[in-house]
Each structure stands twice: as C-alpha cells, then as structure tokens.
Amino acid sequence: MKRVVFNLDPNSDPRIILPPQPSSQFVPEWYRQGERFINKEDGSLNIPDPSLRAGGLKSCNPFLDSIIAGYIQPLSCAIEILKNDGSSNLEWRYVELDANGEYVQVEDIGLIEERSGSIGHTVPRPHGHAQNHMVWSGHWGWKLPRGYSMIITHPMNQFQLPFTTSSGFMESDRFIAGGRIPWYIKEGWTGIIPKGTAMYQIIPVKRKKWLGVVPVNVVSKKGQFITVKAREVLYGFYRDNLWVKKVYEME
C-alpha cells in the first residue's frame, strides 16, 4: 500500500488544526438518503414489485467513488459569514458553540484569508458566486511517493456547500508543504459554515505519459460485448463485473 504522509506547519497547533481524513467519512446526508432503485417503467420511487426495479443513484459506483476518493481537509473551526453583498463587502468571524448552545466569537486561528488586489482577477467566478477571492490556508501539507502528484479540488459532487473550491495539481513528491487554495462564496449567502465541513478533497495520482488514440473502428469488439452484457441486466453489471474497490485509510 502506498503512503501519504501529512505534514503540519510547525507554526500550527495540532490541538486546534484538524488533520485530513479519508473522504469516506464525509459522505453527505443527501447521498445517504438517496434512492438505490427506481421504477423502470415510470422512473418513480414507487416499486410495488421487485421485478420493476431499475438502478437509482446508489447503483452508480462511479458517482460514489468520486465522493469517497482520497482525503478531505475538514474545517477546524466554525466560520460565520456576516455580510455578503456579492461585491467586495464580505465580513466573517470564527465562532464556536458555548455551554448554552449559542455561537460566540473566538480568536482568529488563520483558516481563511481574502486576497486583495489584482491577483486572479481574470479567473471567472463560478456562476452565482461573489467576486471575493478567498483562500483556505494550507496548514497541512502532504508527501507522496516518487512519481505521484496530488489533485486538489472541491469536494466532488457536493454542490450543497455554500462555496466552491478551485482545483489544482501539485507535485507532492517534491513539494510537501501546504498551499493557499482559492475558493468562492455563493453570492448573498450568510450563515455558519460548521466545524468539520469538507473544505477540499485531495486525491493522489501517479504521473505517466499518455497518448490519445482514435481508432478507425471507434467501438472495439470488447466494448461492444460489455455494452451488450450490461444491457441484459437492470442494474449492478458494472459493480459486479468491472468495479474495483479503492482504499484510502489512516494509521
């Protein structure tokens, strides 16, 4: 098994800054509540007879694999967005629950920053997001084996979050420190981003040279065979015959 070694910035307090964790621990509730089957005749959730079953959301292994791939960096303290008018007026504070269950302000532990000036001004903001150029502060870095890089991206398929994190590709066998990772808040959104929220997802990948090929016979015989076999069953062909389990753990 390959190892990823997480390195905390020496100026950061390990009692405060949460470490990365396997993404499988951050499966969103809407997915857990999702359908495994639908009615093959009308696409509804009403399935009076098992013979009417067709695969639903939870029958799609590639979709779940993207959610649980790699590791998630969780937010180490709740952040309250106080003001957000979509332009340059964004105000926030760090908060935690007191003994009465109320959020109160706490000291700034340096989890987020706002970049000022012209850096990144040509980057289109995600649709419906404010112009503010925010960054997650990279308290944790990561060291990968030789020949491996790390993809850093928004937690995959987690569109329920009130922000969108930019993507990057880092040679983490050579550069093992954390970085400042850009993100953008949804325009007009105010409220509390809870402690433990998935900030970004990191996925190790092996670097290789690739060559794209477009064959004369675009669909191969093997591809045709698999397609025919997959259509012979209502659901589960990919999971039962092709899917390979991915493992991301912590010591």
Q: How confident is the model at residue 86 (pLDDT cuts 50, 70, 90)?
A: low
Q: What angle do CA 184, 190, 191 make, to 5 degrees?
A: 110
Q: How many domains does the chain divide into? A: 1
pLDDT at 155 over 80: yes
Domain assignment of residue 78, yes or no: yes
pLDDT at 135 (0 to 100): 97
pLDDT at 234 over 70: no
Alpha helices in 38-93 (DSSP H): 61-68
pLDDT at 218 (0 to 100): 67
pLDDT at 115 over 80: yes
Would you report the helix, strand and coil content of the chain in percent, each value rounded to 5? 15, 30, 55
Average pLDDT, the chain: 91
pLDDT at 185 (0 to 100): 96
pLDDT at 228 (0 to 100): 59
pLDDT at 187 (0 to 100): 95
pLDDT at 219 over 90: no
Torsion, Cα 184 185 188 190, to 10 degrees, reads -160
| Residue 244 CA to its chain's centroid (Å) | 20
Distances in whole angstroms, Cα of residue 246 to Cα of each of 58, 60, 69, 70, 93 = 17, 15, 8, 9, 38
Q: How confident is the model at residue 222 (pLDDT cuts 50, 70, 90)?
A: low
pLDDT at 102 over 80: yes
pLDDT at 225 over 70: no
Strands (E), the chain: 5-8, 21-22, 37-39, 53-55, 71-74, 78-84, 90-97, 103-105, 112-115, 133-136, 140-143, 148-153, 163-165, 168-170, 181-185, 191-193, 198-206
pLDDT-wise least confident of 21-35, 116-130, 189-203, 206-220:
206-220
Distances in whole angstroms, Cα of residue 106 to Cα of each of 81, 93, 135, 162 = 14, 8, 20, 22
Q: How confident is the model at residue 26 (pLDDT cuts 50, 70, 90)?
A: very high
Domain assignment of residue 106, yes or no: yes
Residue 177 burial (CB count, 10 A): 13
Domain assignment of residue 13, yes or no: yes
Which pair of tokens denotes residue 183? Answer: 């993100």
% residues pLDDT > 70 (the chain)? 92
Average pLDDT on 162-168 reads 97
Domain assignment of residue 182, yes or no: yes
Q: With contact defined as beta carbons under 8 Å apart, do 104 and 78 qualify? A: no
pLDDT at 171 (0 to 100): 96
Average pLDDT on 155-184 reads 95
Domain assignment of residue 251, yes or no: no
**What is the domain extent for residue 241?**
1-246
